[in-house]
Amino acid sequence: MPESHSSLHPLALAPVIAPPSTADEFVERFLHNLNFDRGVALSASSANDRYLALAHTVRDYLMARWLEDVRHQKEVQAKGVCYLSAEYLLGRQLDNNLLAADLTEVATEALASCGIDLDELRAHEVEPGLGNGGLGRLAACFIDSLATMAVPSIGYGIRYEYGIFRQTFVDGQQVEQPDAWLALGSPWEFARPEDAQTIAFGGHTEKYDDEGVTRSRWVPAWNVQAVPYNYMVPGFQNGRVNTLRLWSAVATSAFDLRIFNSGDYEEAVRAQTYAENISKVLYPEDSTPQGKELRLQQQYFFVAASIHDFLDNMLADGFDLANLPERVIFQLNDTHPVIAVPEFMRVLIDERHLEWDAAWAITRQCFAYTCHTLLPEALEVWPVELLGRLLPRHLEIIYRINDEFLVAVRERFGDDEMLVRNMSIIAEHPVRSVRMAYLATVAGAKVNGVAELHSQLLRDKVLHDFDAFFPGKFTNVTNGVTPRRFLRLANPELSSLITAAIGDGWATDLERLRELEPFAEDAEFRTAFAGVKAVNKRRLSEVLRERDGVEISDGHMLDVMVKRLHEYKRQLLKVLHIVTTYEGVISGRIAVSDVVPRTAIFGAKAAPGYAMAKRIIHLINAVGEVVNTDPRLEGRLKVVFPPNYNVTLAERVIPAADLSEQISLAGKEASGTGNMKFALNGALTIGTDDGANVEIRELVGDDHFYLFGMSEPEVSELSARGYRPQDFYQADEGLRRAIDLIASGAFSRGDRSVFEPVVSNLLYEDRFMVLADYASYVAAQERVDAAYADQEAWTRSAILNVARTGFFSSDRSIRDYIDRIWHTPPLV
């Protein structure tokens, strides 16, 4: 504080006070923000002005709590979580923050008195798409739960200037457009350039003598500034506000100036662009060497900035680093932040002058790792050549960690060279590389999978030797989703119905949904529940009409498959089912009157460099075009594929769904979280015994879940026997007809070549065994059709799905993390 307290205005000494939340006060604040922040009168304001002024008003209400929480967390120095994640798929903020601050009603009334419709401003917000899919959305759910449960924590990540691409379709094919989400301003962020960190790259290491001890140090070649942007993460109506800190890359001025002064302006701009590219785009294309390098830069950039930020700014003066394990746990969300491990060691040893053993003892207690996959190709490895060029000191540290680990492995398991090679953090083949999942496993205090089956398969297969070496290190935390966004906000009608039945409080104690079970037997409640579904279907229909010019027919079962496009998720299986029904009708083997009216809704983005996934998107659109316009179907089968599926659209689609498609090959989907959102909103699942489907089925019961397909052991067995997709093609007439119809060019205006790669892949490779599960899937769909005919029974099942899936709240996941991994009690 600049002056002695006695000379300051009393207001300067007062804590920040939240404004009273009356509609009049709200109007006053809103107009003040409109006039003074935006510089416009209400009469001249644009929708963007009004949205920004509203966002600022909501911020004002949260500010006092936020400042107080930040102060309090620093003061008490309780153990907290640093959640390190390259992705946060946040969704729109306005509605969430209004709900958290309990201001929705006041804001609605206040805006209405100014002639403004809150819905119009809601629609104006561009969601920050800083994630690709489930992993990023999980991180967003977790920070919501951490704040709601008052756990001392901070989320760290990257403020990508362009988030996940905006998907459009041209002639049915995916075209990616940049997602300029910041173009009209982001009212939820607070830039803190004064808290920037300098992040170094490249160069070499050198040995030096430190009082008779030879040590190594890093002499980097270039650096960038990491500028933090803080975001409020309000807890649900609990007066708590946590922080999400996202880093943005800015060229260092020293770097620029040197080049500018030498007169080479082009070089200066090039250098600036190079530095700032680091936070330019979410997951840049990594099929080129340049893309890969940028991705490693991104990862190091954000974890190095976060570790420094924590050590420099969050610890009390004179903090003894030996006590760090009682103060912090860094949770590594997948392999993307794992380079934090050698960075932490480097900081402790090279900058804070700890000995190796002391630094390693601390590090091993301060990190924990969540693995989100079983697909070998998704476990990141970095070529030693690249890592050594970009982060030479880190590579030295990794080598030493590995050397010491392998000594221990040999001591324990003997000189089994194959085992040692298999467990080495350094892979020798096909290119010498660092296996980041292994590094995280060796360094982490705990390693968790994200659903029971997934965690079991990690222990039994992917990381089997590590489980034997580190007994007790592996655990499970089944994923969860926040009921605030995915029930309260996405499904207000169902929320009201639930509250009317069981009272308030379930949004923070989701197991209370169990109290709904008896209502499944109550005809009046069932009617009300079915009414809510109908309202949600109408709302979705309006959204799709306005957004995409698409109509959803009344009375159709909404059969929904929304998730990233990946072969293992098997959108192709769903396509084959649609083609089977279509082929049955046009060939006259199925009477059209026997087709249960259905609309299949897809939502899926394919990674820009994933050619097969893009072909599958093309196929879905092509099948839709034919099926939707063939009069022989009499409108009883429709395919709808709105482009650019994102969190905002999810919030409309999920509450309207009748049937949730969770049809991955068993053993491939780590967990899934969409599956939980659908069940919680009263959709019935058709699914394999994979990921969290297993737990969903156990909870809702076999009668309310449509199981099909091989189990994971059956998949392994078939694979070991030698899977031959042609055998299934030959043996199943329906399958043959469906594949032949696609191959014939029926969905590509007679051009057989268009989908030839898809057909060939199915017949000769079919890595994810679509053909093997086809018959079982079609049979399960027939059971769905039969069940849907009895609407009372269907609604009963839907209610039981809601009542029995309270387990999947992300609050429960966070409780499990606290109990099994973090040991960070909530702050009172």
How many Å apart are CA 196 and CA 312, to the nearest integer?
11
Among 677, 697, 704, 804, the one annotated catalytic: 677
Instruction: Give the interface segment with ligand RUG, choosing from 115-123, 132-140, 782-790, 809-817 (CB under 6 A).
Output: 132-140
Among 569, 570, 668, 697, the one annotated catalytic: 569
Among 346, 394, 564, 804, the one annotated catalytic: 564
* Terminal C-alpha separation, the chain: 29
Residue 378 lies near ligand RUG (rule: CB under 6 A):
yes
How many Å apart are CA 62 and CA 161, to the nearest integer?
25
Instruction: Give the interface segment with ligand RUG, choosing from 41-49, 130-138, 195-203, 809-817 (CB under 6 A).
Output: 130-138
Q: Which is nearer to ligand RUG, 189 or 811 (CB)?
A: 811
Quote the least distance from Cβ 632 to ligand RUG, whole Å. 38
Residues 6+ apart with CB under 8 A from 148: 235, 236, 238, 240, 482, 484, 508, 811
Q: Which is nearer to ligand RUG, 124 or 435 (CB)?
A: 435
Distance of CA 800 to the CA centre of its chain: 27
Backbone angles phi, psi at 81, to 5 degrees: -105, 130
How many Å apart are CA 251 and CA 273, to the nearest integer?
8
Active site residue 204: no
Instruction: Give the interface segment with ligand RUG, choosing from 44-52, 133-141, 309-317, 753-761 (CB under 6 A).
Output: 133-141
**Strand 557-562 versus strand 474-476 pairing type:** unpaired
Contact 565, 605 (CB under 8 A): yes
Q: Which is nearer to ligand RUG, 550 or 572 (CB)?
A: 572
Residues 486-505 within binding reach of ligand RUG (CB under 6 A): none
Residue 480 lies near ligand RUG (rule: CB under 6 A):
no
User: Helix, strand, coil % (nearest 5) of the chain?
Assistant: 55, 15, 30
Rg (CA), the chain: 28
Residue 550 lies near ligand RUG (rule: CB under 6 A):
no
Report which of 782, 773, 662, 778 is spatially closest to residue 709, judged by C-alpha positions.
Answer: 773
Q: Which is nearer to ligand RUG, 252 or 476 (CB)?
A: 476
Active site residue 677: yes
Q: Which is nearer to ligand RUG, 193 or 609 (CB)?
A: 609
- Residues, the chain: 828
Quote the least distance from Cβ 70 to ligand RUG, whole Å. 28
Residue 38 lies near ligand RUG (rule: CB under 6 A):
no
Residue 671 lies near ligand RUG (rule: CB under 6 A):
yes
**HSE-CB for 164 with a 13 A CA cutoff:** 28
Report which of 401, 394, 398 is spatially closest to residue 205, judged by C-alpha positions.
Answer: 394
Backbone angles phi, psi at 288, to 5 degrees: -110, 155
Q: Is 332 left (phi over 0), alpha (psi -120 to 50) or beta?
A: beta
Quote the least distance from Cβ 409 to ligand RUG, whole Å. 25
Residue 574 lies near ligand RUG (rule: CB under 6 A):
no
- Residue type for position 216: S
Residue 672 lies near ligand RUG (rule: CB under 6 A):
yes
Residue 138 lies near ligand RUG (rule: CB under 6 A):
yes
Residue 806 lies near ligand RUG (rule: CB under 6 A):
no
Q: Which of 91, 134, 157, 584 binds ligand RUG (CB under 6 A)?
A: 134
Quote the least distance from Cβ 450 to ligand RUG, whole Å. 4
Q: What counts of helices (H) and strands (E) characterise the chain?
A: 33, 25
Quote the least distance from Cβ 803 to ligand RUG, whole Å. 23
- Residue type for position 187: P
Instruction: Give the interface segment with ligand RUG, choosing from 131-139, 406-414, 416-424, 554-562 (CB under 6 A).
Output: 131-139
Query: In 178-283, at which residue ranges do the beta strands (DSSP E only) sit?
Result: 189-191, 197-201, 204-210, 213-219, 222-234, 241-251
How many Å apart are CA 759 and CA 424, to the nearest integer?
39
**H-helix or E-strand containing 689?**
none
Residues 6+ apart with CB under 8 A from 38: 45, 49, 52, 53
Please give the structure tokens belonging to residue 349.
Answer: 């040893």
Residues 355-374 within binding reach of ligand RUG (CB under 6 A): 372-373
Residues 6+ apart with CB under 8 A from 62: 18, 97, 100, 101, 232, 234, 241
Quote the least distance from Cβ 83 to ligand RUG, whole Å. 13
Residue 813 lies near ligand RUG (rule: CB under 6 A):
no
Backbone angles phi, psi at 688, to 5 degrees: -90, 170
Instruction: Give the interface segment with ligand RUG, choosing from 134-142, 259-267, 482-490, 750-758 (CB under 6 A).
Output: 134-142
- Compose the 682-721 pattern: x for residues touching ligand RUG by CB under 6 A, - for all others: ---------x------------------------------
Q: Which is nearer to ligand RUG, 240 or 563 (CB)?
A: 563
Q: Which is nearer to ligand RUG, 388 or 672 (CB)?
A: 672
Q: Which of 89, 130, 439, 450 binds ligand RUG (CB under 6 A)?
A: 450
Q: Which is nearer to ligand RUG, 655 or 691 (CB)?
A: 691
DSSP 27: H
Report which of 118, 408, 72, 18 is spatially closest to residue 243, judged by C-alpha positions.
Answer: 72
DSSP 515: G
Q: Which is nearer to ligand RUG, 599 or 675 (CB)?
A: 675
How many Å apart are CA 17 and CA 41, to the nearest integer?
27
How many Å apart are CA 803 and CA 506, to the nearest integer?
11
Residue 670 lies near ligand RUG (rule: CB under 6 A):
yes
Q: Which is nearer to ligand RUG, 223 or 373 (CB)?
A: 373
Residues 286-345 within binding reach of ligand RUG (CB under 6 A): 334
Active site residue 668: no
- Residue type for position 519: F
Q: Which is nearer to ligand RUG, 126 or 140 (CB)?
A: 140
Instruction: Give the interface segment with ligand RUG, choosing from 316-324, 397-405, 461-469, 666-674 (CB under 6 A).
Output: 666-674
Q: Which of 433, 448, 479, 809 binds ligand RUG (CB under 6 A)?
A: 479
Quote the least distance from Cβ 808 to ligand RUG, whole Å. 11
Quote the least distance from Cβ 749 to ligand RUG, whole Å. 35
Residues 6+ apart with CB under 8 A from 606: 174, 564, 565, 613, 614, 616, 617
Among 159, 485, 556, 563, the one annotated catalytic: 563
How many Å apart are CA 54 and CA 60, to the nearest integer?
10
Residue 673 lies near ligand RUG (rule: CB under 6 A):
yes
Q: Which of 49, 60, 658, 669 binds ligand RUG (CB under 6 A)?
A: 669
Residues 6+ apart with CB under 8 A from 258: none
Quote the least distance from Cβ 788 to ligand RUG, whole Å. 27
Q: Report which residue's Cβ sits closest to ligand RUG.
A: 134
Residue 135 lies near ligand RUG (rule: CB under 6 A):
yes
Active site residue 605: no
Active site residue 563: yes
Residues classed as catalytic: 372, 563-564, 569, 673, 677
Give me the residues that bind ligand RUG (CB under 6 A), please.
Answer: 133-135, 138, 334, 372-373, 378, 450, 479, 669-673, 691
